[in-house]
Chains A and B, each alone.
Chain A
Amino acid sequence: MPQPRAIVVGGGLAGLAATVRIVEQGLPVDLFSMVPVKRSHSVCAQGGINACNDVARQQGYSEYQHFDETVYGGDFLGDQPPVLEMCNWAPRIIDLLDRMGVPFNRTAEGFRDLRLFGGSLFKRTHFAGATTGQQLLYALDEQVRRHAADGKVNTHEFWEFLWPVVTGEGDQRRCVGIVAQDMRTMQVRAFRAEAVVMAVGGCGLIFGKSTNSLICTGGAASRCYQAGARYANAEMIQVHPTAIPGADKCRLMSESARGEGGRVWVPRKRGDNRHPRDIPENERWYFLEEKYPKYGNLVPRDIASREIFDVCVNQAMGVAGENQVFLDLTHKDPEYLTRKLGGILEIYEKFVGDDPRHTPMRIFPSVHYSMGGLWTTYTPGSYRPAAPAGEHRAGDTPPADATPGRGMKPGAINNAMTNIRGLYAFGEVNFAYHGATRLGANALLSCIFDGLFCGTSVVNYCRDDSTPPAEAVPQNEYDAAVRREEAKAKRLLDSVHADPAVDPATNPYVIGRELGVEMTAACTVVKTGPRLEQCLRTLAELRERYSRLRLADNAAWSNQALSYARALGDMLILAEVIAKGGLLRRESRGSHYRLDFPDRDDENFLRTTVAEYRPNADSPERDHHAITFAPVDTSLVRPRARTYGRVESQPRAPRHSVAGV
């Protein structure tokens, strides 16, 4: 019998960590990526990666408190056991990255330096300049290159995942490979494997301009969803408070800018057009510091985004009357800023033209991250308290220690597995861990944790002999899957017409742009029922136009227009899941804020939104999405109100004293 193989789709942090872990345990990996893996979207992560550390520990911090912060930050929507396991592994993950040679910033004595980040009062964020994601990705890329040189990894770069090959029916369904397309030659091919790991990232492009990279369409996740995988908490979309609006995208301005002392403010007087340096301290409204004296500028992202949105949109207090606020670092030593934040300050300087060391930056919120994703399961670990614990305070003895296996059972084959056997979801596309809002610097952690911890689960599944090997699946199942994808591509290519009178209504780029504008307007910072219903009608209209799509290029070689147009169809389907989930969740929780239901409703909605695709829906409204609400495992920590100590503040109110807090 041939050696079992695993497939990993996506070469960001999650995919590369999974690849390293799987090949290390003796299984060869076929790694697929639409870009050279070193150019994956993980490079865009800036601020850092969270982990309990020796310094914080001596101040009363613990892995358990990191866990408590993460579930509180996520407004209790995350299943708790996997979160505990992730936070417990964080210090080991930092050590491993350190061994791989990640140039983490250092203290004078040579220890790993730490910075403050949102949602915590402790320094628990490790960083490499302000390009931490890039540095982590490179370290894993180097390890994968090393294994590839030894022949253990077959890297397929510039290959696009098109569909999972799923065999069997009902509960017996399992994934035994994928269909993919070479983006240069346009060849469509099936690849056989015992297991498939989807590590395909987020779906920011559905919102048009976001902080995401161009490949983050959500297309691959949508294809798995359409093939029968469940999609969970789709409506939980994180809007990052500080981004630089641009003509082609919104560039991230890292939370580390606030972690290193950056202050968010607007002039107290509407329309005050003086240069920010000329506006005296008492005429500036530091609205986050005044409303949240405890956390200040480092409240979680959804809160900061809503406050900025409120100041600009509802109160029309934005700088120069525009949708923008100041993010100010000019009170800090320029040399210190260069050392700690050089990379992101250069980005701002390059794209805007001002030097943030001397002129406050102008920023506005932008879509950044999807907490939702493919639904996955897990086997709980050994920590099973008789009753959930209350809020954890610094210095308290943690009710659970950080021994491996407290939260999730190591190596259990169902960890991070979707409802289709053998199909796993790692990293951002895995809905687990972050609940209704992700804390800053937890994304890099969850990606690498999935790869390292759940990678072992993939190996165990591949070696489990209770299922027949993928080799036993008849070749004609793979051939049929290839033919279906070839037919789909042909349909799009045949839409190219010599007629020069091109209708913008059927232009994929026009449809894509309208999709982005609509989704940003209806499904981000502030949502309402009527607006979401309108959004669903707009999406139906866009889908109708999509069915008449006209492609501008029918080349049989390196046809990017085909790739985009095909993904657009899948984005429209996922957009419906996002909008419909938002409509049905009649409460406000974390990043999901409903103006018509402003309160959290644990009784009805402390539930995971689970969507299943019905390909042949024949209901009158042709609704393809069956959405149910599943219980959340809150057996470790009792849900409590998530306030971050908010108090009232008005533009003209005197400043609150923060002394003594």
Chain B
Amino acid sequence: MTATATAKRTVRLRIRRCDGPGQPSRWESFMVPVEPGANVISCLQTIAADPVTEDGRRTTPIVWDANCLEEVCGACTMVINGRARQSCSCLVDQVAPRNGDTITLEPMSKFPVVRDLWVDRSRLFHALTRVRAWAPIDDTFDRGPGPRETPEKQALRYTLSTCMSCGCCLEACPQFLLIDDDTKWDTAFIGAHAISQARLFNAHDTGRTLKGERLEALTAPGGVSDCGNAQNCVKVCPKDIPLTESIADIGRQTTLHALARWFTGR
């Protein structure tokens, strides 16, 4: 608690809370002392240790999803001052530089709320199954190395492969809407992240063997043609993944795939 004593200023955290699915949401505000290097996570941790609102009411600790705190696991994504981002890399000095400044925290709106800032992103992972986002290797026996690859191709695949399934691109997308009913996920817009993963695996020699299935899935309702070209996804991606390039590339691949199918009759 020594850090509290040496803190020079405070920040107000205004948080949209909700007790569970189907429950109404409400706002609570907290005044938090700012430690050196403080981020939204450290503020939430301070609140957890002594959850008292700005108007002096004792409440429960905030519930939120977090793990690595290094912006590499994707867990702690939330809407901060209106924009989806990771709360670990959100430094208080950057978003609320003056004494008493307010930071507003809300759960992502495109996924069902579990509690407070914690949302259920199962649909995001389900989309990876929809596009068969894997290389179908024979087995795990010793069969020598994988395909050789140029540094240029590796650089592209690596960039696409740094997607941490955080969901920022989906929160920002006008075509991706909240759907509670999981039976409707397969016909709703799949989202930029999964389209980009299809591009990643279509670019791998072994992954390519499922290219046809991926493109079929992305030609079906909810596929790549549902993209409205708002280009919000690429602007909010914390890993600077070229999502719009991926969408354009997969768009071309599906067209060629459809043409080939038309010509061959398969």
Contact = CB atoms under 8 A, between A and B. Distances in A.
Interface stretch (A189-197, A244-252, A363-371, A637-645): A244-252
B138 to A, nearest CB: 9
Nearest to B70: A251
Interface string B126-141: 0011001111110110
A507 B49 CA distance: 7
B75 A35 contact: yes
Interface stretch (A104-112, A390-398, A607-615): A104-112
Contacts of B266: none
B68 A213 contact: yes
A92 interface: yes
B67 A213 contact: yes
A600 B116 CA distance: 52
Interface in B69-128: 69-75, 88-89, 91, 114-115, 118, 120-121, 125, 128
A578 to B, nearest CB: 23
A38 B125 contact: yes
Contacts of B165: 36, 38-39
Given A103-B157, A107-B151, A552-B61, A43 B73 contact: yes
B140 A452 contact: yes
A36 B167 CA distance: 13
Given A39-B73, A104-B154, A110-B151, A248 B45 contact: yes
Interface string B34-47: 01111101100100
B25 interface: no
B184 interface: no
B150 interface: yes
Contact of B146 (A95, A247, A347, A558): A95
A507 B67 contact: no
Could you tell me the dominant secondary structure of chain B's interface residues?
loop
A248 B75 contact: no
A138 B151 contact: no
Given A131-B162, A142-B133, A552-B51, A101 B69 contact: no
A359 interface: no
A350 B139 contact: no
Contacts of B49: 507, 509-510, 513
Interface string A128-168: 11010011001100110110110000000000000000000
Contact of A246 (B37, B48, B125, B135): B37
Which of the four size classes fits the interface of chain A? 35 or more
B128 A145 contact: yes
A500 B204 CA distance: 60
A521 B135 CA distance: 47
Contacts of A507: 49-50
Nearest to A509: B49
B149 interface: yes
Given A248-B69, A507-B49, A557-B19, A142 B135 contact: yes
A509 B45 contact: yes
Nearest to B116: A558
Given A44-B70, A92-B142, A509-B48, A560 B63 contact: yes
A21 B36 contact: no
A351 interface: yes
B58 to A, nearest CB: 5
A345 interface: no
A43 B88 contact: no
Given A20-B140, A101-B135, A145-B128, A35 B145 contact: no
B201 interface: yes
Contacts of B137: 96, 99-100, 143
B143 A214 contact: no
Interface string B145-183: 110111100110110011011000000000000000000
A129 B158 contact: yes
B206 interface: yes
Nearest to B240: A346
A367 B139 CA distance: 37
Contact of A249 (B35, B69, B74): B69
Interface string A460-498: 000000000000000000000000000000000000000
Contacts of B65: 35
A247 B36 contact: yes
Given A247-B35, A351-B91, A558 B63 contact: yes
B86 to A, nearest CB: 10
Contacts of B51: 552
8 contacts: A35-B67, A38-B73, A95-B143, A107-B151, A110-B151, A247-B42, A248-B45, A552-B51
Ordered nearest first, which 5 A-B pairs have the shortest CB separation?
A98-B146, A509-B49, A142-B134, A247-B42, A558-B115
Given A20-B140, A95-B142, A103-B161, 7 more contacts: A39-B73, A39-B75, A95-B145, A100-B146, A104-B154, A134-B72, A351-B91
